């Protein structure tokens, strides 16, 4: 449960718990508080600092997320181009390269997007195999030059992705935000003065603040809108290549993505990032839960 909260996978219960806690504490404290003018002044300063820092951080993480998603989409498009171009080569070369394309895609999925560099070995194996092709006809030579250029462009994109994924929020930034959040929650808890309406409003504010923190966590982990920007395009890519989509069971179980049809579902017995013992099973999944 706490792991899901830390990874930004759940939003409702953390916000509800924070809101309910603030309401109960506010009613329990009642009018027993300090000087209201001091409390209001401190709350104003804390709210200003928290709002400015949160807004700046959300903008920065959204820009980082957009850069990574665009580069990943370009990389997947290049992989599909390699897959299609290989039909002009011999059956052995075609099968080998297409298998390496599939392996690299599954290798990327095995690791978190913030750990994109862990799939470098399968990428290098793919590009080495592409560079080692021996074109024998004029048409193959033309296509070979395009394949080499694709490999060079993909390597440049990977370098940009790795640079962007390495710009996650630092522990100092998270600590500052959480301290301001705690201060702000404490101040809005005592401001209502024991009134029921004021306590309810304070609880709603607390839930909203926690929701924004969870949103920031999802942005920092590059999981915001991942269904429509990562999982669905990757599923279509696999099917376009004549392969079954590849989805970790954990992603399905916690509701991050629900694939349908014939799917390769992968389980990881060992803790992350150990993937040598992964187990892949082919399942046919319905679009209706429980079927």
| 267 backbone dihedrals φ, ψ, rounded to 5° | -110, 145
Task: Give the pLDDT of residue 99.
Answer: 96
Q: How confident is the model at residue 7 (pLDDT cuts 50, 70, 90)?
A: low
Strand order in the sheet with 261-267: 246-248, 261-267, 279-285
Model-level pTM? Answer: 0.84
Give the tens place of pLDDT for each residue, 25-76.
Answer: 988 888 877 778 888 899 999 999 999 999 999 999 999 999 999 999 999 9
Is the backbone peptide bond immediately before 273 cis, with ω within 30 degrees of 0?
yes
Higher pLDDT, 13 or 49: 49
Task: Give the pLDDT of residue 1.
Answer: 47
Q: Would you list the domain boundaries of the chain? A: 1-242, 244-291
Question: Parallel, antiparallel, or unpaired: how do β-strands 246-248 and 261-267 relate?
Answer: parallel
With beta carbons less than 8 A apart as the criterion, state whether 180 and 46 touch: yes
Give the tens place of pLDDT for each residue, 75-90.
Answer: 999 999 999 999 999 9
Q: How confident is the model at residue 259 (pLDDT cuts 50, 70, 90)?
A: very high
> What one-character-per-residue DSSP string does 154-199 give?
HHHHHHHHHHHHT-PPPHHHHHHHHHHHHHHHHHHHHTTTT-HHHH
If residue 110 lies in a helix (H) or strand (E), which one and from where to where?
helix 91-110
């Amino acid at each position: 449960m706490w792991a899901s909260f830390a990874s930004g996978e759940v939003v409702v219960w953390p916000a509800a718990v924070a809101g309910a806690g603030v309401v109960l504490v506010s009613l329990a404290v009642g009018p027993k508080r300090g000087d209201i003018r001091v409390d209001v002044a401190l709350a104003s300063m804390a709210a200003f600092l928290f709002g400015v820092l949160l807004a700046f951080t959300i903008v920065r993480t959204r820009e980082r997320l957009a850069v990574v998603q665009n580069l990943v989409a370009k990389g997947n498009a290049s992989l599909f181009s390699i897959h299609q171009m290989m039909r002009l080569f011999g059956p052995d070369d075609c099968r080998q390269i297409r298998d390496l394309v599939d392996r690299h895609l599954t290798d990327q999925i095995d690791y978190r997007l913030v750990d994109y560099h862990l799939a470098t070995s399968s990428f290098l194996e793919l590009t080495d195999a592409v560079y080692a092709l021996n074109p024998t006809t004029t048409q193959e030579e033309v296509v070979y030059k395009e394949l080499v250029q694709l490999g060079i462009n993909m390597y440049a994109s990977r370098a940009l992705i790795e640079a962007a994924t390495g710009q996650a929020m630092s522990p100092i930034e998270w600590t500052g935000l959480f301290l301001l959040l705690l201060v702000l929650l404490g101040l809005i808890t005592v401001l209502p003065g024991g009134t029921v309406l004021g306590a309810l409003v304070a609880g709603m504010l607390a839930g909203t603040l926690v929701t924004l923190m969870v949103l920031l966590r999802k942005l920092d982990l590059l999981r915001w809108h991942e269904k429509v920007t990562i999982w669905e395009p990757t599923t279509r890519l696999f099917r376009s290549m004549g392969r079954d989509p590849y989805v970790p069971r954990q992603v399905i179980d916690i509701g991050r993505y629900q694939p349908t049809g014939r799917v390769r579902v992968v389980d990881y017995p060992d803790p992350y990032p150990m993937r040598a013992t992964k187990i892949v099973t082919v399942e046919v999944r319905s679009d209706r839960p429980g079927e």
